[in-house]
Structure 1
Amino acid sequence: MKIKATLEKIPGGMMVVPLLIAAILNTFAPNLLRIGNFTEALFVNGASTLIALFLLCTGAQINVKSFGVSVGKGATLLVTKWVVGAAFGLIAYLFAGDNGLWLGLAPIAVIAAMTNSNGGLFVALVGQYGSKEDRAAYSLLALNDGPFLTMVALSIFGAMGFVDGMFSLQSFIAVLLPILVGMVLGNLDEEMRVFLDKGSSMLIPFFAFALGMGIDFAAIIEGGLAGIALGLLTVFFTGTAGYFVFKAFKWNPIVGAAEGSTAGNAVATPAAIAAANASFASFVDIATVQVAASVVTTAILLPLYVAFLVKRLEKKGFTFEQGNMMKVDS
């Protein structure tokens, strides 16, 4: 029975399927796994611990030795992605209704989804249309993994008085420390980086299931369509912004567009934010579902959008050969 292969055929399947299964169980048989001891600890209450371990494994993949290779491109990608995502998050807060939602979207879901990018999808797209230097840019872009940049945006909005988004220094340290520990381990020992890399993929279905055990299926019905819209915003606004920013710097614009996605690990961000500031707790369920929907939507749509942009450039006389975009002399 090819469970892993089947899940991998579904966009975001390793995250979406366990989350949906858990949400169904939680809705129709909420006490089935709430039997105490190891079972409940892992499948129901384990989200925070699993997410912390995931952040540690992810932090180990941030290679400071590679920063110098493409630091300019990586920083540009990171800043562009964050600015666009944070701007939409601010709009969501400014125009949110009495229920705290903007067009059905939870503002923390907007920030979490739009400021985070799918590293695997980025590397795959850039591997096809970009250079080795372009691929190395992800070593810096990987800094948007996890809840840190979402916390930064919320803190800025809190200082501006738009949201109760302030976090104590201790909260920032508590979120960052697992990432920093992983980063130190990965940079001190390459074998540790390789070893922990396995965990960053393996843990996703487990923390997704634990998150799903806190979601009522009604939240999926309520937030699913809005989450698809969030995915569209992510692709067409962060991807297009990256395209034009890279074009302005006379870099390969396809590389800029390739960051217009949401990573599966962003599903954990609303829960991590609520753990650091309880004022966001009421939006965790719907935000988690919406981010999950954005993950699936962007995984399907971004490659199609990039292919469209490539065709558009080819019609203008550009070609992509051996990882380089070149103008064909007419």
Structure 2
Amino acid sequence: MRIKASIEKVPGGMMVVPLLLAATLNTVAPDLLRIGNFTQALFVDGASTLIALFLLCTGAQINLRNVGVSLGKGATLLTTKWIVGAIFGLVAYMLAGDSGLWLGLAPIAIIAAMTNSNGGLYVALVGQYGDKTDRAAYSLLALNDGPFFTMVALSIFGAMGFVDGLFSFVSFIAVLLPIIVGMVLGNLDEEMRKFFDKGSSMLIPFFAFALGMGIDFGAIIEGGLSGIVLGLATVFLTGTAGFFVFKAFKWNPIAGAAEGSTAGNAVATPAAIAAASASFASHVDLATVQVAASTVTTAILLPLYIGFLVKRLEKKGVKVPDDYVIE
């Protein structure tokens, strides 16, 4: 059987197929693989560990001469996504009706969903369509985890005061450390670099499956049409903006588009903000389900959108990632 070849016929197949398979399984039979021991550790709870190992393998491929490129890409992605999400949120605040909603969307949900990104999804996509500098850019992207940048946007709007303590420097270092360990080993020993290179592609379907086991299609139903619209806006606005910004810098535009998602941890952002300012309490429940729906929608749609963009570039004679690889 040509299993690998069949999976790769699907755009982003090595990531998309396992993720959707797991999400379907988690929706219809969530306890099937939650039986403890090695099975649950690998297929359900293993996403963080597998991604950490993937980042270590990726870090080993980084030549110290290219560190500045990775940081530049990470900072550019972080800034682009935040600006687009903040502007869209500001428009929502300006056009919101008496209910405080715009087109049924809570502005706080818009900012939370659009300024936060799914790091695992990004890593999986650039693992297939990017190079080592695109993967290493993830070290900076960890900064948009949680409510920190949502709070910054809200403080700029004058909607609330800035609140300290929402970003943990230790958490940032915890994300960065596996990449650093891999980078040190790879630069000290070329054989170690070659050894770890094997893990960069092999790990993708495994952590994609584990990520899928955290997705419940029921969240789309609960979040309603507004949550789906929020997911669509996140993919097509922040993803497309990243695509064109990276293209302008002559970097791989697919890596720029790979940030167009909403992370699962963004679901907790509305509650965290409401805890800091009671003025947001009235929209917490609605915002939470809308962000959850956006998380699921982007996890499904973004890989398909990336596949479309790759084919579009290939029709123009551009090979992804070969034409953008930095040696």
When normalised by structure 2's length, the TM-score is 0.67
Shift, 1:222, TM fit: 7.7
Q: How many residues align?
A: 251
Does 2:301 correspond to 1:309?
A: no
- Alignment deviations for residues 284-309 of structure 1 (CA, whole Å, 9 cap, x no partner): 10000000000011011111111100
Structure 2 portions without partners, runs of 5+: 1-17, 32-47, 180-209
Q: How far, CA to CA, are the matches of 2:137 and 2:81 in structure 1?
A: 13
2:164 to 172, 180, 183: 172
Q: Is the 8 A contact 2:244 2:253 kept in 1?
A: yes
Partner of 2:154: 154
Aligned in 2, Cα 1:150/1:230: closer, same or farther, shift over 3 Å? Answer: same
Aligned in 2, Cα 1:188/1:232: closer, same or farther, shift over 3 Å? Answer: closer
- Alignment deviations for residues 195-217 of structure 1 (CA, whole Å, 9 cap, x no partner): xxxxxxx9xx99x99xxxxxxx9
Q: Is the 8 A contact 1:11 1:296 kept in 2?
A: no
What amino acid is aligned across from residue 325 of structure 1 in structure 2? D
Partner of 2:119: 119
Structure 1 portions without partners, runs of 5+: 19-53, 191-201, 210-216
What amino acid is aligned across from residue 153 of structure 1 in structure 2? A
Partner of 1:264: 264
Look up the SS of the partner of 1:127 in the other structure: helix
Partner of 1:325: 323
Identity among equivalent pairs (%): 69
Partner of 2:184: none
Q: How far, CA to CA, are the matches of 1:316 and 1:239 in structure 2?
A: 20
Shift, 1:183, TM fit: 3.9
Look up the SS of the partner of 2:117 in the other structure: coil
Aligned in 2, Cα 1:296/1:184: closer, same or farther, shift over 3 Å? Answer: closer
Q: Is the 8 A contact 1:318 1:326 kept in 2?
A: no
Shift, 1:182, TM fit: 3.2
Does 2:88 correspond to 1:96?
A: no
Q: How far, CA to CA, are the matches of 1:153 and 1:248 in structure 2?
A: 25
- Alignment deviations for residues 235-290 of structure 1 (CA, whole Å, 9 cap, x no partner): 00000000000000011100001100101010010011111111111111000000
Aligned in 2, Cα 1:99/1:255: closer, same or farther, shift over 3 Å? Answer: same
- Alignment deviations for residues 47-81 of structure 1 (CA, whole Å, 9 cap, x no partner): xxxxxxx9xxx9xx9x9x99746111000000000
Output the aligned Cα RMSD: 3.9
Shift, 1:220, TM fit: 8.5
Aligned in 2, Cα 1:227/1:185: closer, same or farther, shift over 3 Å? Answer: closer
Partner of 1:21: none
Shift, 1:223, TM fit: 4.3
Aligned in 2, Cα 1:189/1:246: closer, same or farther, shift over 3 Å? Answer: closer
What amino acid is aligned across from residue 239 of structure 1 in structure 2? G
Shift, 1:131, TM fit: 0.2
Partner of 2:138: 138
Look up the SS of the partner of 2:319 in the other structure: strand
Shift, 1:10, TM fit: 1.1
Partner of 2:295: 295
When normalised by structure 1's length, the TM-score is 0.66
Q: How far, CA to CA, are the matches of 2:19 and 2:258 in structure 1?
A: 25
Q: How far, CA to CA, are the matches of 1:314 and 1:187 in structure 2?
A: 33
Q: Which runs of 4+ in 1 moved over 6 A?
A: 5-8, 185-190, 219-222
What amino acid is aligned across from residue 249 of structure 1 in structure 2? F
Q: How far, CA to CA, are the matches of 2:176 and 2:132 in structure 1?
A: 21
Q: How far, CA to CA, are the matches of 1:82 and 1:180 in structure 2?
A: 19
Q: How far, CA to CA, are the matches of 2:137 and 2:143 in structure 1?
A: 11
Q: Is the 8 A contact 2:238 2:259 kept in 1?
A: yes
